[in-house]
Amino acid sequence: MTPPLIEVENLRIDLDNGSSRVAAVEGVSFRIDRGETFGLVGESGCGKSISALALIGLLRRPLSIGAGAIRFEGREIQGLPAAEQRALRGNRIAMIFQEPMTALNPVSPVGRQIAEMFVLHQGKSWREANQLAVEALASVRVPAPERRVKDYPHQLSGGMRQRVMIAVALACGPDLLIADEPTTALDVTVQAEIIELMRNLCAERGTAILMISHDLGLVANLCRRVAVMYAGRIVEERGSDDVFRACAHPYTQGLVDALPRLGTRAALGRSRLREIAGVVPAIADFPAGCRFNPRCARATDICRTTAPEMTLLGQDGFVRCHHHA
């Protein structure tokens, strides 16, 4: 049997605050197959971004991997020699972030930044790489790419910068693209264009996507499978259709209820959306038992003392809740 493209097993991420060590993320497991689209969703502070950073080896103190394994095509990444790890991250796993300005170099023309990828990772000559950069900009639908290659990031709009970021990320034909809130800073129409672009380019090239967002609607629209994260744990994983049809965890239900629906008063901005009452606890304040219990209408005594085990739902879903739907 071929191993999944990437597999995370029982990942724990520790936060070391000098005098003590607490788990910011715990027992996180998921797998993404070649060409698959997988979403990680949850409110701000649930641990989505640091899980992604762990995947590409970018966690920095005070955070570190405390336990678990991350395997790429069946091989544990942490065990690979440093040079192989770097090659994997440069060539086969790429990442785009919410704010391209933090990832793009402000004093280098965007064409050069794309060309650099071809020179560094594929050994192309600068002449060849410059031509490939023009083609890469055209592939992300930047108009007049021959002229735009000479632009600096600040000369481009937010949407155009995100397109450049995608061009840089896809330059070396990665097997996995990690997208962490890539459209949150953009307005809604530009958001939709960027997601569509990502979806089409990755589908054409067989690139798998790990999409990270607080927006369940966006994630479920793009991804085949969705994992819902709350306070450092995955509480439910389902096929995208099932998330809306039959979500099992009260937290997932809360995220579904918070989505604006077309034609409703909330979607028209005339009434407030139904928000989940309360906030995600800080790492040091994770409650005992089920971490969602203080915000949960279904909570009973057992929820306050005992962390729920995983319950399988059908062929390929699960939930962690004592009172799942």
Ligand X SMILES: Nc1ncnc2c1ncn2[C@@H]1O[C@H](COP(=O)(O)OP(=O)(O)OP(=O)(O)O)[C@@H](O)[C@H]1O
Helices 188-205 and 158-170 sit at what angle, rounded to 10 degrees?
10
Nearer to ligand X among residue 22 and residue 197 (C-beta): 22
Number of Cβ within 10 Å of residue 185's Cβ equals 17
Nearer to ligand X among residue 24 and residue 177 (C-beta): 24
Structure tokens at 140: 């992300």
Least Å distance between CB 82 and ligand X? 22
**Amino acid letter for position 91:** N
Which of 262, 266, 308 minimizes the C-alpha distance to 289? 308
Least Å distance between CB 297 and ligand X? 23
Least Å distance between CB 229 and ligand X? 7
Summarize as ranges the residues that interact with ligand X (CB under 6 A).
15, 24, 42, 44-50, 62-63, 181, 214, 282-283
How many Cα atoms occupy the beta-carbon half-sphere of 1 within 13 Å?
3
Nearer to ligand X among residue 175 and residue 181 (C-beta): 181
What is the residue whose two structure tokens read 């972030």?
Answer: 97
Nearer to ligand X among residue 32 and residue 142 (C-beta): 32
Beta-carbon contacts of 20 under 8 Å, excluding residues fewer than 6 positions away, are none
Least Å distance between CB 186 and ligand X? 15
Least Å distance between CB 66 and ligand X? 13
Rounded CA gap, 13 and 290, in Å? 19
Burial of residue 100, with CB atoms counted within 10 A of its CB: 0-12 exposed, 13-18 middle, 19 or more buried: buried
Rounded CA gap, 128 and 133, in Å? 9
Rounded CA gap, 202 and 15, in Å? 34
Nearer to ligand X among residue 41 and residue 170 (C-beta): 41
Nearer to ligand X among residue 3 and residue 281 (C-beta): 281
Nearer to ligand X among residue 109 and residue 281 (C-beta): 281
89 three-state secondary structure: helix
Residue nearest to ligand X (CB): 49
Least Å distance between CB 295 and ligand X? 16
Least Å distance between CB 212 and ligand X? 7
Q: What are phi and psi of 20, to 5 degrees?
A: -145, 170
